[in-house]
């Protein structure tokens, strides 16, 4: 069965409950409370969680289509459930049975919402350099340190928190563990971070000061697996950011295609000038190529095959496509593209996040190259 019915509902939701409000919410950097409530009713917070745990159990390919459509209208909205679902995927793949039963149904219903807490002020892509520590004390871990750029940090209540349970371990990853951290005493949000784009969604700094987490919240129940857990969520994370890239690239194309047929110079619509035609053709080709790369990675993911290289390629290409298309859309629109009354400047501000976040595109290239060599030994 195809999932066009699901995508039709997503389109109806976007047209009715999102499109009329994006401009205001985005420019005023307001958390879209009412829209999040509609997203909860729609079931988006359980999209990829297995049906046996109360989710929808959608394949990654359908999920990527959903993310693309939402990012096409407002990328920030996808951030509200994307990292939540990566946290869910980590628990579903690595958690103990008790953890799955205790948490996944509450994640699926959005009773508990949250995301990933990996990045720190001094480390992002190089995760093994984290400094947040969790010291065992009786039946709890005592956590100290700071996380930053945590999506849903203010409005979420539960996070997959990457910590060092053994700061002196060699290799470093053997000392890393992941905890399911619900907000409580010693867990505070110190501030909301201001950003160029990606407005509306809360990116926050989280501070842990003798914050106690029961030992049964150690994901998988064994210390030293934290990095593996974090990496297990990255394939889905990259596909998801790649899908956002396709959404932004498509939105830039849609706006440009419409504008180029309406705006006239020298007596004809600008779509009839070769200078604009070349741009439109490249934008459309990039978007379509990006979409196919995302689809390919998602299909491998759904088959259970290793897809870090393919997900990396999709992430690299689709997010660069988003950035290029946003820039080209501004050139097609001229002054109107630079105006804050039109959506192009928003795409132009949102796109750069994608080439930086979820592993920089420089790192993606290194991962792709290493995989190429590993898969093709001489």
Partner 1 sequence: MKILVPVKRVVDYNVKVRVKADGTGIETAGVKMSMNPFDEIGVEEAVRLKEKGAATEIVAVSMGVPQCAETIRTALAMGADRGILVETDAELQPLAVAKLLKAIAEKEQPKLIILGKQAIDDDMNATGQMLAALLGWPQGTFASKITIEGDGITVTREVDGGLETVALTLPAIITTDLRLNEPRYASLPNIMKARKKPIDNLKPADLGVDPKPRLTTVKVAEPPKRKAGVKVGSVAELVEKLKTEAKVI
| Residues that bind partner 1 in the complex, under the rule CB under 8 A | 1, 5-6, 8-9, 12-13, 16, 41-44, 46-47, 51, 56, 58
Which of 44/201 has CB closer to partner 1?
44
CA dihedral 28, 29, 33, 36 (to 10 degrees): 130
Which residue number, 41 or 137, has a Cβ lying nearer to partner 1?
Answer: 41
Nearest one of 309, 348, 310 to 330, comparing CA atoms: 348
Residue closer to partner 1 (CB basis): 1 or 378: 1
User: Which CB atom, from 16 or from 191, has the smaller least distance to partner 1?
Assistant: 16
Give Dmax over CA atoms of the chain in angstroms: 79
Which strand (E) or helix (H) includes residue 259?
Answer: helix 234-262
Pairing of strands 268-269, 264-265: antiparallel
For residues 90 and 112, what is the distance between their CA atoms, to the nearest angstrom? Answer: 15
In angstroms, rounded to a whole number, what is the distance separating the alpha carbons of residues 279 and 51? Answer: 44
For 39, phi then psi, to 5°, come to: -65, -35
Question: Whole-number minimum distance, CB 57 to partner 1, in Å?
Answer: 8
Nearest distance in Å: CB 1, partner 1: 6
Choice among 223, 320, 328, 358 that is catalytic:
358
CA-wise closest residue to 147 among 114, 122, 175: 122
Least distance CB 105 / partner 1 (angstroms): 13
Comparing CB distances to partner 1, the nearer of 78 and 325 is: 78
Query: Six-digit token pair at 19?
Result: 């499109």
Provide, rounded to whole angstroms, the least separation between the CB of residue 110 and partner 1: 12
- What whole-number distance in Å separates Cα of residue 266 and Cα of residue 371? 52
Q: At which residue do the structure tokens 């019915």 appear?
A: 5
Crossing angle between the packed helical segments 361-375 and 308-333, to the nearest 10 degrees: 140
The SS3 of residue 169 is coil
Helix (H) or strand (E) holding 69: helix 60-94
358 a catalytic residue: yes
Q: In angstroms, what is the minimal distance from the CB of 37 to partner 1?
A: 12
Q: What Cα–Cα distance (Å) separates residue 97 from each residue in 87, 107, 215?
A: 16, 15, 15
User: What's the min distance (Å) between Cβ of 326 and partner 1?
Assistant: 26
The residue (of 16 and 306) whose beta carbon lies closer to partner 1 is: 16
Query: What are the residue numbers of the active site?
Result: 358
């Amino acid at each position: 069965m195809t999932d066009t019915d699901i995508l039709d509902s997503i389109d109806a939701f976007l047209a009715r409950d999102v499109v009329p409000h994006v401009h205001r919410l985005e420019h005023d950097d307001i958390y879209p409370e009412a829209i999040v409530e509609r997203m909860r009713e729609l079931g988006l917070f359980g999209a990829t969680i297995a049906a046996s745990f109360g989710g929808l159990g959608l394949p990654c390919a359908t999920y990527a289509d959903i993310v693309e459509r939402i990012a096409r209208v407002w990328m920030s909205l996808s951030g509200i459930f994307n990292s939540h679902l990566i946290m869910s995927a980590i628990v579903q793949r690595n958690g103990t049975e008790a953890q799955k039963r205790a948490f996944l149904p509450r994640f699926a219903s959005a009773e508990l919402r949250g995301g990933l807490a990996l990045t720190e002020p001094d480390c992002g892509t190089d995760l093994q350099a984290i400094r947040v520590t969790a010291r065992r004390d009786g039946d709890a871990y005592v956590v100290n340190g700071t996380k930053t750029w945590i999506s849903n940090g203010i409005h979420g209540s539960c996070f997959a928190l990457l910590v060092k349970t053994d700061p002196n371990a060699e290799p470093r990853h053997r000392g890393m563990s992941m905890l399911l951290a619900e907000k409580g005493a010693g867990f505070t949000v110190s501030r909301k971070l201001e950003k160029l784009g990606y407005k509306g969604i809360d990116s926050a700094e989280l501070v842990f000061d003798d914050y106690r987490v029961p030992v049964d919240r150690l994901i998988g129940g064994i210390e030293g697996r934290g990095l593996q857990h974090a990496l297990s969520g990255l394939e889905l994370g990259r596909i998801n950011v790649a899908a956002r890239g396709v959404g932004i690239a498509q939105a830039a194309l849609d706006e440009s295609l419409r504008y180029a047929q309406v705006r006239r110079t020298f007596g004809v619509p600008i779509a009839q000038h070769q200078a604009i035609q070349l741009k439109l053709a490249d934008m459309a080709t990039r978007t379509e190529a990006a979409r196919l790369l995302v689809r390919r990675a998602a299909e491998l993911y759904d088959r259970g095959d290793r897809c870090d290289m393919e997900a990396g390629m999709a992430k690299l290409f689709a997010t660069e496509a988003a950035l290029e298309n946003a820039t080209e859309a501004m050139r097609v629109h001229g002054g109107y593209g630079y105006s804050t009354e039109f959506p192009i400047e928003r795409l132009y501000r949102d796109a750069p996040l994608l080439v930086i976040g979820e592993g920089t595109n420089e790192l993606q290239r290194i991962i792709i190259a290493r995989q190429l060599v590993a898969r093709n030994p001489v």
